Copies of this chain bind each other. A is one copy, B any other.
Amino acid sequence: MGARHRSNPLALAVLALLYEQPMHPYEMATTMRDRRKEDSIKLNYGSLYSVVQSLEKRALIQARETGRDGRRPERTVYEITAGGGVELLDWLSELVSVPAKDFTDFEAALSLLGCLRPEEAVHLLEERAVRLEQELAQAEALRRHESMAKLDRLFYIEWEYRLALRRTELIFVKDLIRDIGDGSIAGLEHWRAFHADH
């Protein structure tokens, strides 16, 4: 399969949209926005057009018609090919069944926490905790909102997943604040020593 090319999830999203029905690129963008997919899949105008182009070159999608509506700029409508359908299901199956390592910003920051003084670190972690609590409170409010309450759960599983992770993150951050604050974290002396020199 085209496993070499499976880096950009936007390509997956394009295949998924065309799996439902043919579309032109701009419509893909608006559809993704309407369905809140931009929250879970990074969407960029510039990327979209080159991703579509690259999918066409690999024969996973093909141009269907290059019609024009009135005197508007030309729209190229694309449809998925048989190969594209196979690639979609194969790729999606892989993403679901094998847990990939993903590099998050906070993980990177934690691994370099030693560059900050302990007190500074605690202070910044407290800020993060506050912001996480706000985010979670907002999410709770949104969930109770009527427009959300009527939506099938299938359409917001990814949202629940993200919330579950955020809740865990909040607990982790609070524990960490406690352990640095009361000096119970192992290695605190080395940490202080490094900053004493600097």
Contacts and interface: CB of A to CB of B under 8 A. Distances in A.
Contact of A125 (B96, B153, B154, B179): B96
B103 A42 contact: yes
Contact of A115 (B19, B157, B167): B19
B157 A98 contact: no
A129 B113 CA distance: 31
Interface of A: 9, 12-13, 16, 19, 37, 39-42, 88-89, 92-93, 95-116, 120-121, 124-125, 127-128, 131-132, 135, 152-155, 157-158, 160-162, 164-169, 171-172, 176, 179, 185-188, 190-191
Closest 4 CB pairs of A and B: A152-B187, A95-B109, A154-B187, A97-B127
